[in-house]
Structure 1
Amino acid sequence: MDYILRENKKLAKETNINRTIFAACPNSIAVMKASLNSAKRCNAPIKFATTLNQVDLDGGYTGFTPRQFVNKIRQYAKSINLKTPVIIAIDHGGPWLKDRHRKEGLNYEQTMTEVKATFEAAIEAGYDLIHVDPTIDTTLPKGEIIAIETVAARTVELITHCETYRTRNDFPKIAYEVGTEEVHGGLVDLTVFTKFFELLKTGLQREGLTDVWPCFVVGKVGTDLHTTEFDPEVAKTIVGIAAEYGSVIKGHYSDNVTNPEAYPKSGMGGANVGPEFTEREYEGLMELEEIEKQLHNENKVAKLSNIKKSLWNAVIDSGRWRKWLSEGENSDDFYKNSFERQEWLIKTGCRYIWQNHEVVACRVELYENLENNGVKAEQILLAHIERAMDKYFYKFNLINLNDILQERTLEVV
């Protein structure tokens, strides 16, 4: 990751074209496959940003441990003869950022112990980057914001733990990402933003880690869960500050962003996209269900899969839709919320239940019903997701970056 960002910086100076690394949050097997397919077609690096909820020692909601996830990605990449770089990373790794930790009421020591164990497993599995994000503290009184000094100190503690474990076991070097868009205005308060850098620099020096520095720093650039407009002016400001310290800015919540072309123009180093692909996967399944119904009406399908009903039931029964309710919405009765909100909650909540046994069985039945009639079900589904991904590869100026990087590497050799 450090190498690619370094070369991107050189390329920008030589060609006046900035590039933004695209990172997909792999919330389903379909998204994993689509990401690799899109990366191959666009001939560009692909980064996977896995949250602790998605992939962890307990399997997460995808069912994969870090080692299993890496192996599965390698298998899929090999199956399509992928040559482009694949970067695998932890996204939002920190205390209480795993839903189960909050639900079970883990104290600080307990959640930190689990996070450190996950980091160790990721390093051992061959991850390339860890996003260290200790910006949540459930022990604080409601409404109180965690002190930036605490954020910096815990960031140093976690990076130090990773480096100690990595060097002791002779694992390859990894890259780091720090910060979050959800604390202190996403560190957009420029005083706080700069202070965080200084505290981090001093803390790492104190631990003897002068050669370790985060390549990515997450900043709030206008997008969040409910907004899709990227703010290039804010981005340019914090990009400039980060550059003085040798880092680039990463944007999160880039889903469905209306102006993705502004990311590279503003000098953004990377952007994460996740829930958008769950929405596209859901829409793909709805298209397949419509085809299935047509075939059923023609007596070409004996029994409907009822995939939509299965998805809605699974999301509602999981209760995880409550996590995304806005103030004033009904948390007791899902169906008392507006239909528009119901559909949004289902679409975004599907990522939690793709591996639900009933949902998996319905999807298998749906695919079989269609395949028996000559309909390439999975290809149709993946096309929905890949179309969205191709947009980011194109708008982020990543097309054929793989060839460019390979040529530059050969020149150095």
Structure 2
Amino acid sequence: MKTPIKSTVKALLELQEENKSATLLGIGPMSKNLLQASFELARDYDFPLMFIASRNQVDMDELGGGYVNGWNQFTFMEAIKEIAVKTNFNGLYYVCRDHGGPWQRDKERNDHLPVNEAMALGKKSYLADIEAGFDLLMIDPTKDPFEVGKVIPLETVIERTVELIEYCEQERKARNLPEIGYEVGTEETNGGLTSTNIYETFILRLQEELDEKGLPMPTFIVGQTGTLVRKTEQAGQFNFENAYELAQMAKKYGVGLKEHNGDYLDDVSLLEHIPSQITATNVAPQYGTEETRGYLKLASVEQKLKDYGLIENPSKLRDVLLYHAIQSERWRKWMVGDQTELTVDEIMNDAELSTAILDIAGHYTFNLAEVKKEIDKLYANLNQVNINGQRFIVEHIKRPIRDYVECYNLQGATTRIKEKL
């Protein structure tokens, strides 16, 4: 039987006291290539994996499915199991819902669904997570479209959080399924859980409400450590003191501090994570961007091979990726200032901005039939000259993940955790 994620986090908190701990890495599952890269690294470096899927990425077909491989909760789990077998991985991995709950699909938020309807859809999605076998559910009712630009009252967040945990626990127990973990809180920089005072107030009030209903404390509470992703860079500033204080506060209650927006951190900031005692970090868009960059490098090689007369008919992968990345409009959430309001036509007519959008949003298009067709053609062309394109992509994705593995003291972490349990 798999070690519950709550037990793994408890072991990590104890290992922190012995200076033997690690910071877990939550990986946004952008593609099968990323899953393969993750499993191969975790196999070779002996650390636990966490795959963190948002509702836009993986969800029920009737709610719109997900943009990542068209996966719903069950096909996502099947793909993970398939790749674990393919890579001979027999360590620990956890499948996690990132930002579950009401209004967490873009359409639900844009449609301004009333609270009752949004909560019902959030619960329906959680039920599929539970039945599919997810190990951790993030309970996030903070994307309220009626509170845009405002800080949602703490009591409202707590009330909705408790309601959702109670629902999930009832449904889990009714199906006699194993214990799952919960993640709560928000990473928002404007009014999120930034100061230790607000953080502790949140924990205490949440504990009070959960205890009253006989519900478990969460495994992770998200806290703001200064990180912020914009475009394809870390636009925030990692705050060691804040991170350390929040981590100690969470540990008092047997909970791990979870950091979001951990993409594109430099080595100095990454190395600060172990002494700051952050228990886990989420990284998602960076790894999708790395895969896009890998494809563009292969497309450049392919063009050179045509110039050398070694292949006749190159793919149109770059052009197809570029067009669909811009048309997706999913880049808007990562832009800054007036750029969030640019029209598709304005971007299409600006070569420099188009290239930047491709870097940001290429990974949102990987599941489109036209993109898949060009990737297959690219691979076939390169194969003619003994270049394994798919292997290059997997290794390309591994590079930034390996940086986190090394700095987060993850090598050997599974063995250390098992010895502690």
TM-score by length of 2: 0.92
Q: State how far apart, in whole Å, the 1-side matches of 2:13 and 2:185 are.
A: 21
- Alpha-carbon contact 1:334-1:342 (below 8 Å) kept: no
The one-letter amino acid paired with 2:229 is L
- Displacement after TM superposition at 1:344 (Å): 3.3
Using the alignment, how far apart are the partners of 2:219 and 2:349 within structure 1?
42
Distance 1:357 1:399 in 2: 38
Once the two structures are TM-superposed, the CA of residue 405 in structure 1 deviates from its matched residue by 3.3
Measured in 2, the distance between the counterparts of 1:396 and 1:303 equals 44
Partner of 1:392: 404
Q: Cα 1:342–1:229, aligned 2, differ >3 Å: closer, same or farther? A: farther
Match of 1:231 in 2: 239
Give runs of aligned pairs for residues 7-406 of structure 1, distance below 5 A: 7-14=11-18, 16-58=19-61, 59-62=65-68, 63-140=70-147, 142-182=148-188, 185-209=191-215, 212-226=216-230, 227-258=235-266, 259-329=269-339, 330-332=341-343, 333-335=345-347, 341-406=353-418
Following superposition, the deviation at residue 42 of structure 1 comes to 1.3
Kept after mapping to 2: 8 A contact 1:18/1:265 = no
> Shift of the alpha carbon at 1:157?
0.6
Is the 1:45–1:86 Cα contact (8 Å) retained in structure 2? yes
For 1:82, give the aligned amino acid.
F
Q: Which moved more, 1:189-198 or 1:58-67?
A: 189-198
Cα pair 1:277 1:388 within 8 Å, conserved: yes
The amino acid of 2:157's aligned partner reads V
SS at match of 2:17: helix
Q: Distance in 2 between matches of 1:170 and 1:293?
A: 56
Q: Determine the C-alpha separation between the residues in 1 that align with 2:351 and 2:302.
A: 24
Q: Could you tell me how far 1:191 is from its partner in structure 2?
A: 2.8
- Which contiguous aligned blocks of 4+ residues in structure 1 show a shift greater than 6 angstroms? none
**3-state SS of the aligned residue for 1:178?**
strand
SS at the partner of 1:230?
coil
- Give % identity: 31
In 1, distance between residues paired with 2:21 and 2:349? Answer: 43
Q: 3-state DSSP class of the match of 2:145?
A: coil
Unaligned runs of 5+ in 1: none
| Structure 2: unaligned runs, 5 residues or longer | none
Measured after TM superposition, the shift of residue 184 of structure 1 is 5.2
- Give 1:278 shift: 1.3
Shift, 1:277, TM fit: 0.6
Asked if the contact 2:227/2:238 (under 8 Å) is kept, the reply is yes
* Residue 340 of structure 1, CA deviation: 5.4
TM-score by length of 1: 0.94
Write the distance in 2 (CA, Å) between the matches of 1:17 and 1:340.
46
CA contact (8 A) 1:95 1:112 kept: yes
* Pairs aligned (count): 405
Amino acid at match of 2:312: A
For 2:257 and 2:28, locate their aligned partners in 1 and report how far apart those are by CA, in whole Å. Answer: 18
CA distance in 1: counterparts of 2:335 and 2:13, whole angstroms: 40
Deviation track 1:172-196 (CA, whole Å, cap 9, x = no partner) reads: 1101110011165321133322221
CA deviations over 1:160-212 (Å, ceiling 9, x no partner): 00000000111111011100111653211333222211221121122222xx0
Indicate the SS of the match to 1:139: helix
Inter-CA distance 362–152: structure 2 relative to 1 (3 Å threshold) = same
Partner residue, 1:3: 7
Question: Distance in 2 between the 1:7 and 1:189 partners?
Answer: 26
1:82 match: secondary structure: coil
Q: 1:96, 1:113 → 2: CA distance?
A: 10
Aligned-pair CA distance for 1:240 = 1.4
How far does the alpha carbon of each residue in 1:144-164 deviate from its partner, in whole angstroms, 9 at most, with x for none? 221011001110011000000
Partners of 1:194 and 1:241 within 8 A in 2: yes
Instruction: Give yes or no for contact 1:20–1:396 (8 Å, CA) kept in 2.
Output: yes
Which stretch shifts more, 35-44 or 159-168?
35-44
Does structure 1 conserve the Cα–Cα contact (< 8 Å) formed by 2:59 and 2:73? Answer: yes
- Per-residue deviation at 1:408? 4.7
How many Å apart are 1:23 and its aligned residue? 1.0
After TM superposition, give the deviation of residue 407 of structure 1 in Å: 4.3
Cα root mean square deviation, aligned: 1.8
Taking structure 1 as reference, are residues 340 and 217 closer, same or farther at Cα in structure 2, changes over 3 Å only? Answer: farther
Distance verdict in 2 for CA 1:228–1:394, change over 3 Å: farther
SS of match in other structure, 2:363: helix
Deviation track 1:210-250 (CA, whole Å, cap 9, x = no partner) reads xx011111111011123253211110111111112211111
The Cα of 1:80 is off from its aligned counterpart by 1.3
Cα distance, 1:347 vs structure 2: 1.8
